Amino acid sequence: MNKTTLPYRTSLGLGAVALGLVVAPLAAAEPESCATVRFAEVGWTDITVTTALTTETLEALGYDTRVDTVSVPIAYSGMKNDDFDVFLGNWMPSMASISDPYIEGGSVDRLGANLEGAKYTLAVPQYVHDAGVTSVADLEEHAERFASQLHGIEAGNDGNQLIQDMIDDDAFGLGDWQLIDSSEAGMLAELRARVPNEEWMVFLGWEPHPMNTNFDIAYLEGADDYFGPDLGGATVYTNTRGGYAEECGNVGTLLENLSFTLEMENQLMGEIMDEGADPRDAARAYLQANPAVLDAWLEGVTTRDGEPALPAVKAELGIDA
């Protein structure tokens, strides 16, 4: 539930001009359109985490937030059509085919990287890897054990599209394999069901994600032409609708400052997925326990009404100054 936006206040100063007095605001007003920050969220727990951390911070600054869960294509068409302001999950380079046309056309802006060192490619349980399936080139030889199925997540996801591209290209002899569209939760439920009996499965894997600690898994080599080098080594960027960071400069500064870590996201994702924690509660507790992250995030940022950001956010979150 979003908090009510704090009333916009303008600090008044008096200065003599000619024979009269003029009132001057100490902070320039943002357009009213900036009062509510609208996030696209795509049902991936890592982006749920980063969105929760960001919305907690924004609401402590006096903004309203709105979060809608949509598919990746809808997130981008929504930013183009002014339905969303922010998307924190631009995984690159795997998402280039979806995001780049919008960015090159100017309807979406790519701001700074918010996560470095991620990975995103096909994976198997460790017992499958130990049996000799170490590369995507090994899959077809064992097609029967995999039922010629490649397990992805939600339809329209960029990773699913890359898998489908491999099938369409008959790469590695996978032309007669089938992409199984599911969801993050559905794919992991299938993995959880197969592991006890050491049944074989190849699926879309990534880090940060608790799957890396909850399951003994291995990433497959050889898919560089599709997922990129270094096992789909990825950088995650913040995207906004075109011109948003200039229109809403204070929010834009916060978004440019945002930086997350693998450790941070793995911890919070585990709390949400394994312990059933509410994302916003988990995010708030993390910020309360790790207030130093706010120092960098809030550099050059004010509250919605122009007051110093750091003390206001700490007070709102119940953090000792």
Domain spans of the chain, in order of start = 12-117+234-317, 119-232
Please give the CATH superfamily to which domain 12-117+234-317 belongs.
Answer: Periplasmic binding protein-like II (3.40.190.10)
CA dihedral angle for residue 99, residue 152, residue 207, residue 238, rounded to 10 degrees: 20
- The CATH number given to 119-232 is 3.40.190.100
Taking the whole predicted model, whether its pTM rises above 0.75 is answered as yes
Q: Which residue has the higher pLDDT, 165 or 22?
A: 165
Assign 1 a pLDDT band (cuts: 50, 70, 90): very low
3-state secondary structure of 87: strand
Q: Is it true that 12-117+234-317 and 119-232 share their CATH fold? A: yes
Q: What is the pLDDT of residue 4?
A: 31
Q: How far apart are CA 107 and CA 270, in angstroms?
A: 35
Six-digit token string for 132: 């000799």
Q: How far apart are CA 174 and CA 239, in angstroms?
A: 34
Beta strand 203-207 with 64-69 is unpaired
Which 8-state DSSP code applies to residue 233? -
Six-digit token string for 40: 């696209």
Assign 166 a pLDDT band (cuts: 50, 70, 90): very high
CA distances from 105 to 101, 246, 249 (A): 6, 17, 22
Q: What is the pLDDT of residue 43?
A: 87
Convert the pLDDT of each residue in 195-209 to its tens digit. 999 999 999 999 999
Q: How far apart are CA 133 and CA 124, in angstroms?
A: 8
Convert the pLDDT of each residue in 117-150 to its tens digit. 999 999 999 999 999 999 999 999 999 999 999 9
Q: How far apart are CA 316 and CA 260, in angstroms?
A: 21
| Residue 33 pLDDT greater than 70, yes or no | yes
Nearest to 3 by CA among 50, 59, 57: 59
Convert the pLDDT of each residue in 266-283 to its tens digit. 999 999 998 999 999 999
Question: Can you say whether the dihedral through the CA atoms of 204, 206, 209, 213 is positive or negative?
Answer: positive
Assign 13 a pLDDT band (cuts: 50, 70, 90): very low
Average pLDDT over residues 177-203: 96
